[in-house]
């Protein structure tokens, strides 16, 4: 609807009790239908209670966005085509894909809040003139109480630094690697590759991020929340991503994930391989790296607010 003042703002609201999804989130078909691969990958790193809360919050946000788009849950747009990611500051960001992206050229903002077992989400569709949106449907964020992040969407560059939003918000810094696992890297019986191979990829990602943010390679201090969830074998192609999620005066915290995107198929022939329909999560971790204090003020490092511990 248009008015004398310009196009109207569309608003969608959804409220959900976590118990409504308790059984559904254990069913693979529902997870494939309802959530983007990035959201599922992050949910897999959480404990049972937080996983349910996280998925319920994301699903409420998707239903609110569907109302902004003017369609129902089973009216042509799958919830997985609405991916709710998150900035380093905790603000959710909506990525519209496929049919959802074709329904509106305008940005959609969303806010999510939790109260005990109840989650609520509000989505706002901004008129096109009210703000710019990227060509892939990426929209401007609004503040939220939701603390957890999800991994960045698929990119084809080795690393990206998103530009800072107006108002002094820090840029989001990410890094990306894609490698093929060679036959010489098999370490255990059954041609299994040891987990240290993935950790080397993670280390390279963390190093690249600290070079981008501080002009220094930094010193990797620890890994936390490390989980190996799927085997890696020779011939597999692995995509590894890192994203800076927190920074203090001396420390940088990076979320890391590795996915298998192509898989060798030795049973179908010596050189047979296949592209996976969905990237398979292989490993997740959080890394903490330390940078010398003197580098945080150098001219080579992008400016960003620090958070004291």
Binding region: 14, 63
Q: Is the dihedral of CA 264, 255, 243, 254 positive or negative?
A: negative
**DSSP conformation letters of the chain:** -EETTEEPPEEEEEEEEGGGGTTGGG-HHHHHHH--HHHHHHHTTS-HHHHHHHHHHHHHHHHHHHHHHT--TTSS--GGGEEEEE-TTS-EEEEE-HHHHHH-SS-EEEEEEEETTEEEEEEEE--GGG----TT-B------S-----PPPP-SSSEEEPPPPTTTPPPPEEEEEEEEPPGGGEEEGGGEEPTHHHHHHHHHHHHHHHHHHHSS--EEEEEEEEEE-S---TT-EEEEEEEEEEE-SSEEEEEEEEEEEEEE-GGG-TT-EEEEEEEEEEEEEEEEEE--GGGGGSTTSPP------
* CA-to-CA separations, 249 to 215, 217, 293, in angstroms, rounded: 14, 16, 7
Are the CB atoms for 70 and 103 separated by under 8 Å? Answer: yes
Per the structure block, which two tokens stand in for 77?
């747009």
Which residues participate in the annotated binding site for Mg(2+)? 14, 63
């Amino acid at each position: 609807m248009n008015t004398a003042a310009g196009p109207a703002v569309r608003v969608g609201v959804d409220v959900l009790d976590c118990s409504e999804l308790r059984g559904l989130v254990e069913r693979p078909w529902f997870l494939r239908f309802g959530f983007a691969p990035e959201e599922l990958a992050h949910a897999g790193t959480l404990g049972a209670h937080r996983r349910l809360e996280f998925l319920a919050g994301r699903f409420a946000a998707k239903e609110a966005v569907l109302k902004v788009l003017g369609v129902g849950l089973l009216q042509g747009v799958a919830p997985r085509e609405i991916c709710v990611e998150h900035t380093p500051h905790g603000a959710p960001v909506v990525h519209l894909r496929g049919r959802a992206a074709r329904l509106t050229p305008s940005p959609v903002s969303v806010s999510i809040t939790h109260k005990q077992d109840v989650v609520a989400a509000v989505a706002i569709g901004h008129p096109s003139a009210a703000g710019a949106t990227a060509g892939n449907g990426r929209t401007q964020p609004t503040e939220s109480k939701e603390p957890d992040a999800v991994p960045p969407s698929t990119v084809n560059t080795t690393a990206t630094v998103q530009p800072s939003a107006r108002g002094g918000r820090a840029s989001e810094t990410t890094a990306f690697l894609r490698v093929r696992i060679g036959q010489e890297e098999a370490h255990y019986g059954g041609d299994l590759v040891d987990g240290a191979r993935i950790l080397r990829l993670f280390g390279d990602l963390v190093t690249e991020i600290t070079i981008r943010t501080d002009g220094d390679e930094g010193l990797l201090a620890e890994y936390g929340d490390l989980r190996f969830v799927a085997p890696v074998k020779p011939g597999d192609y692995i995509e590894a991503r890192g994203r800076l999620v927190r920074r203090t005066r001396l420390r940088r915290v990076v979320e890391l994930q590795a996915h298998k995107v192509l898989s060798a198929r030795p049973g179908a022939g010596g050189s047979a391989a296949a592209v996976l329909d969905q990237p398979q999560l292989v490993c997740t971790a959080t890394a903490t790296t330390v940078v010398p204090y003197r580098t945080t003020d150098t001219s080579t490092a992008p400016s960003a607010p620090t958070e004291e511990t």
